[in-house]
Chain A
């Protein structure tokens, strides 16, 4: 990727360029807003999304042609924007990712009625374990599970190599499993799948 400037003409952006940007904007805005909402207070999310798309508009020529890659590219801009904003008195290289309140989710969802206490317990364990993960592990799992990115795309977001992302994801998964196993609450409700294998 180069740092070449957005190509322009004397008459400004072409209608076609605007139309293409509009398409990308409307296709990716909800996902980008979700990405940002997980990382900041929801009242700030729209402003940050606007900043991200402004950068994207000015760098539109750099936008990857593949829709999935374009989405990851936008997430990458958002990630860097947020990291910069969070560097107050302490530097961070990863963003803390919120997780939903497991009890609220359980009580409000249909799954509560269908699956009963096992699923609720699994969620409670996961939520408790999540809070013990490092921000780097949280964002790694978040990109894979919530954003549905593949390895290379997630690596773009974090500014690391795909190999490094895969290693990080593997560690994050092991850490989540370990914390679920050692979560003091609801020890009998650990998901069977998380008990399998050999935790590192």
Chain B
């Protein structure tokens, strides 16, 4: 039987009323039909639902839980699976959209569309921290795997790539004994190496790795992080052997250079996960060929 709240569980009416009056939220009841909310709705509806989502579901019934699910138990990130830009969304928008997340504020002041050099030692340290974060509370994250198993999954994963933009470092982990285990850590560090902000997202149900065609890339994970500085959109995946440069063309920030390491690529930018929908890719191959403005739907799809 599902317990309902009884009167003794609640505050007395006077206190409830007083507390209710202290609600800090201030929202226009008609906000949903306002231009900003409607623009967001249009972008969401324009996104492709043909790819399965990989975000952690919210249980509507406590007793029925899936055996395998997002690793971030109880604290899932926004993950949007492979998003494919609809051509109708791209047309005419690239030239007129004003940057939102960066425009007028300094929340991501140090972010840049190009990557910053990182020493092997710094990369190793960032990878180590990201892995340590996953090991910190494996039971909470892996609700259906015991601690030892969780530690094996995390411990066997490998740092695939480290990307730095300003004060921000993104680490992409994956692989190991659980092929579908993928992790992205995104952290902002101060000048002393202390973490100022950031988050991490991961899945145990990723598509795993498969051979990727030499002239393309295959996104594996696409995450929308909501950090205290605002929303960020991240993408990481495999890169073909002939690809020497990956540039992701975003509406909000223009071309964003991806880091390529060890056969993987990754990039991120300030903005909500919805910005992943409209991104296109420009790939440069070893022989100088440039494959420009490839919609996500025409990249190698995520492996199944």
A residues in contact (CB < 8 Å) with B: 1-3, 5-6, 8, 12-13, 18, 21-22, 25-27, 29-30, 33-35, 37-38, 40-44, 46-55, 57-60, 62, 64, 69, 72-73, 76-77, 80-89, 91, 93, 98-100, 102, 105, 109, 111, 119, 122-123, 126-127, 130, 141, 144-146, 150-152, 155-157, 159-163, 166, 169-170, 173, 176, 191-194, 196
- The answer to whether B244 has its CB under 8 Å from any CB of chain A is no
Which among A27, A46, A145 is the interface contact of B16 at CB below 8 angstroms? A145
Q: Complex: how many Å from CA A47 to CA B79?
A: 14
Q: Say how far A118's CB is from chain B's closest CB, in angstroms.
A: 10
Which among A27, A57, A89 is the interface contact of B47 at CB below 8 angstroms? A57
Inter-subunit contact A54/B75 (CB<8 Å): no
Q: Is the interface of A mostly helix, strand, loop or mixed?
A: helix
Inter-subunit contact A55/B24 (CB<8 Å): no
Of all chain A residues, the one with the shortest Cβ separation from B276 is: A54
Q: Given A58-B49, A84-B76, are A25 and B41 also a contact pair (CB < 8 Å)?
A: yes
Q: Say how far B190's CB is from chain A's closest CB, in angstroms.
A: 10
Inter-subunit contact B78/A29 (CB<8 Å): no
Inter-subunit contact B230/A145 (CB<8 Å): no
Contacts of B18 in A (CB 8 A): 119, 122-123, 126, 191
**Which range contains the number of B residues in contact with the other chain?**
35 or more
Of all chain A residues, the one with the shortest Cβ separation from B78 is: A51
Contacts of A166 in B (CB 8 A): 3, 5, 9
Which among A30, A51, A60, A163 is the interface contact of B231 at CB below 8 angstroms? A51
Residue pairs across A and B with Cβ atoms less than 8 A apart, 6 shown, are A1-B60, A13-B45, A25-B44, A37-B25, A84-B75, A85-B228
Inter-subunit contact A146/B25 (CB<8 Å): yes
Q: Complex: how many Å from CA A58 to CA B80?
A: 8
The 5 closest A-B pairs by CB, nearest first: A5-B52, A76-B58, A34-B25, A193-B12, A29-B32
Inter-subunit contact A37/B27 (CB<8 Å): yes
Q: Say how far B72's CB is from chain A's closest CB, in angstroms.
A: 6
Inter-subunit contact B20/A145 (CB<8 Å): yes
Inter-subunit contact B274/A54 (CB<8 Å): yes
Inter-subunit contact B195/A80 (CB<8 Å): no
Q: Say how far A29's CB is from chain B's closest CB, in angstroms.
A: 4
Contacts of B262 in A (CB 8 A): none
